[in-house]
Structure 1
């Protein structure tokens, strides 16, 4: 095997490792830093379920978890029980979970189907129906599921892409709730 071929093979392996890390939901840890800047807009939803429309001023002083999901994504379905649990357990302490349903497939654009899935999956927190990808694009999101953790001052402090590390994500919630805003 030539030196050039070995180099290409190493590059492919490195790329595969990077994709595997993303798939395992470790990207949030690789990207961790003090702040990603102010929370982007939640404007542009076609409809809101379980809540009137929410925006930055309405969420001021709260810790916010923005969960980008779509109902036919198996990875999203695996993370939803954890998100539901966090919404129930930490809501009285100041956590607001906002689901942003951004469809992957054409049939997921049907608001009646989204509403039925929200009910079936036991989602009681606010859900923005983002059929036009306005919120998705405002946040620069690229993944389902994607969790963005926002502090009481409105700064995005942590991100997590994909499934997994639920204990670590819960520690982020606890730490942000413990901070004074």
Structure 2
């Protein structure tokens, strides 16, 4: 079983070898493939949803006779966001042929449990199919799931027939949908497959160039921290910027408190520095506790990004944190090589969660 470009849920720490770009990307190096649930009937787990968006609550009984695609996602996960254009396209193309798509939103960070945040993301990304809120991970556990994104293809009898973890293999996934619909309806499905061209953060990653792993800033899963003295857990600390960073090392500068999930800036002028190798750099950020927007400026190797800026920055590297979400800060047009990324916050209170790359 190949797991390509996804995030695996872990309880306390990210294994250093987890790099979200290759077939073993989301598993510890010595881990076995995740257990398959093909042949089981886990749709009863939908009863554990804490709420629904775009639909009244759905049950396994109501879905009997329908082909169902269950997509586990969370809105700050870049791997999930890059898969969404395909999920939307399949939902639109096959809705009149008996396919029901259900997005199961299982949060990784606490802010993803908040209904207004999820509603805003659903609207932003144009999702019209049903979304089950899985804030207590009850549906996740019913499916014995371990990954974002994870796709389960369920036949008209409620049995899981196929499963896929992570990005990629979209043509094969659509053929599975066609096969299950043909089996359920005794109708020939069109052989064509959808063609998707994701934009912004949803654009396909340059997998061959990603040499940097998902990196958490909260101390519970932090790795490769380079500021002198290490992380002081849960206490205010004046950090100094690291010097001579090696690839994938990072650090803080300024007065921060690093909690289990998040680092919070206590004074203006704080920085995060990361030496990375990828086309795109994303950072999950949140505004201050009272919702005040946070201004920032990004540099690459000490210079304004120019045409290499992301969708959430301008050519001078300026941007504003207004919501809790993923921000694309760098999208390189130049040849990809190692760079030192720096983000400096002009206001206190920002919340920083994790880096991802594309």
Instruction: Establish whether residue 82 from structure 1 lines up as the match of residue 83 from structure 2.
Output: no
Number of residue-to-residue matches in the alignment: 161
The answer for the alignment partner of 1:154 in structure 2 is: 158
Residues 150 and 166, structure 2, Cα contact 8 Å, conserved in 1:
yes
Deviation at 1:45, TM superposition (A): 1.1
The answer for the alignment partner of 2:23 in structure 1 is: 21
Residues 22 and 161, structure 1, Cα contact 8 Å, conserved in 2:
no
The answer for the alignment partner of 2:142 in structure 1 is: 138
The answer for the alignment partner of 2:116 in structure 1 is: 112
Task: Kindly indicate whether structure 1 or structure 2 has the higher relative contact order, using CA contacts under 8 Å at least 6 residues apart.
Answer: 1
Q: Give the TM-score normalised by the residue count of structure 1.
A: 0.82
The answer for the alignment partner of 2:345 in structure 1 is: none
The answer for the alignment partner of 1:6 in structure 2 is: none
- Taking the aligned partners of 1:170 and 1:39, their CA distance within structure 2 comes to 21
Residues 23 and 162, structure 1, Cα contact 8 Å, conserved in 2:
no
Q: How big is each residue's C-alpha offset from its partner over 1:116-169, in whole Å with a ceiling of 9 and x where there is no partner?
A: 100111110000111111111111110000000000111100000000010010
The answer for the alignment partner of 1:9 in structure 2 is: none
Structure 1 stretches of 4+ with a deviation exceeding 2 A read 33-36
The answer for the alignment partner of 1:169 in structure 2 is: 173
Write 1 or 2 for the structure with the bigger share of strand. Answer: 2
The answer for the alignment partner of 1:37 in structure 2 is: 40
Residues 67 and 184, structure 2, Cα contact 8 Å, conserved in 1:
no
Residues 63 and 176, structure 1, Cα contact 8 Å, conserved in 2:
yes
The answer for the alignment partner of 2:182 in structure 1 is: 178
Q: Give the TM-score normalised by the residue count of structure 2.
A: 0.42
- Taking the aligned partners of 1:174 and 1:22, their CA distance within structure 2 comes to 28
Aligned alpha-carbon RMSD (Å) = 2.4
- Taking the aligned partners of 2:41 and 2:137, their CA distance within structure 1 comes to 19
Unaligned runs of 5+ in 2: 1-16, 27-32, 186-358
Write 1 or 2 for the structure with the bigger share of helix. Answer: 1
3-state SS of the aligned residue for 1:59?
Answer: coil
The answer for the alignment partner of 1:62 in structure 2 is: 66
